[in-house]
Amino acid sequence: MLTRVLPRFGTRRSTHIFERNFMVYRSQWLMLVSGFFEPFFYLLSIGIGLNSLVGNFHVGGQVITYATFVAPAMLATSAMNGAVIDSIFNPFFRLKISHAYEAVLATPLDVNDVALGEVWWALARAGIYAASFIVCMALLGDANSVWVVLCWPAAVLTSFTFSALGLAACTYMRSWQDFDIVALVQLPLFLFSGTFFPISSYPGWLGAIVSISPLYQSTSLLRGLALGQFAWIMTFRMAYLLVLAFVGLTLAARRFRRILVP
C-alpha cells in the first residue's frame, strides 16, 4: 500500500509532465523571459533607494551594506513566489478548469507521476531564475563572497519545498476566491521572515513564530551561504526544508489520487 502512495522518484514517466509544460510554454515564451527582469528591478531599487538610507548591518562579525543583507532574502522570496505560481495557480487550472489531468491519467501515467512531474517543472524554472538572480547580485555588488554560488542549489531546494507544499494546497482549492488565502499566507511570510531586518529586532513572541517558518529557514540559509558564514545549523535548515518538501509531495500524491482516481 505504501508504494502506491509515495511518488516514485527518478522515474522517467514523470518527466512527460515536464515535457508537456515545456511545449505549452514555447508559445508563451514572453511570460517565461519576463521572470528574468524581476530580480534585477528588486535589487536595483534596494541598492538605489534604501541602501544609503538604512546604512550598514553587522552580521556574524561582518559589516555589510543593507542591499547585501536583503539580497539573499529576496532570492528566497523569489524562489517561493515562483514555486507558488507553478504549483498552485497553473495546476489548479489544469485540475479544476481544463481537466487536463484526466486526459493525462488516460495514458500510462498515474497520479504520482503527475505530482512529481509538476514539481520537476517548478524546479527547472526555479533553477533558471535563481541563476539570473545570483548574476544580478554579483553585477550590482551585492555578493560579498564567492560562496554566493552555493545560493543556487539552496534556492532550488527552497523552490522544491514550496512547490511540493503548494501542489498539496492546490488540491484543497475550491474556486478562484480561495487564492486570497494564498496571498494572505505569502505576504506575512515575505514581510516577517527576516527579509528586511533580523528577527532579533522583532518582539520575542513574533520572533519565535517566524523562526519556524520555511521562508525564514531559507532566508537564513541563503544569507549565511552568500556571506560565507558556515555553521552546523545550516544542516538543520536544509533538513527542515527537505522534510517539508517530502511531506508536501506525499500529501499531493494522495490528494490527486482521491480527486482523480474513481
In a domain, 203, yes or no: yes
Residue 2 lies in a domain: no
In a domain, 125, yes or no: yes
Of 226, 78, 73, nearest to 149 by C-alpha is 226
C-alpha cell at 198: 533580523
The confidence score (pLDDT) of residue 118 equals 81
Half-sphere exposure of 213 (CA within 13 A, CB side): 24
Residue 188 placed within a domain:
yes
For residues 241 and 212, give the distance between their C-alpha atoms in angstroms, rounded to a whole number.
11
pLDDT at 26: 67
Whether residue 4 is contained in a domain is answered as no
Strand locations in 33-141 (E): 56-59, 62-65
pLDDT per residue, tens digit, the chain (262 aa), is 444 444 444 456 677 777 777 777 666 666 666 666 766 777 788 777 777 677 677 777 778 888 888 889 989 988 888 888 878 887 888 877 877 777 777 777 777 788 778 888 888 888 888 888 888 888 888 887 888 999 999 999 999 999 889 888 888 888 878 888 888 888 888 888 888 888 888 888 888 888 899 999 999 999 999 988 888 999 999 999 999 999 998 888 888 888 877 6
Q: pTM score, two decimals?
A: 0.84
Q: How large is the angle between the packed helices 37-45 and 111-139, nearest 10 degrees?
A: 40
Answer yes or no: is 76 within a domain: yes
Number of domains forming the structure of the chain: 1
In a domain, 5, yes or no: no
Residue 239's domain comprises 13-260
Single-letter amino acid code for the residue at 114: V
In this predicted structure, what is the pLDDT of residue 185? 87
Residue 205 grid cell: 513572541
In a domain, 131, yes or no: yes
C-alpha cell recorded at residue 129: 531564475
**8, 112 Cβ separation under 8 angstroms:** yes
Distances (CA, A) of 79 to 114, 123, 125, 146, 183: 21, 9, 9, 21, 15
pLDDT tens digit sequence for 157-172: 999 999 889 888 888 8
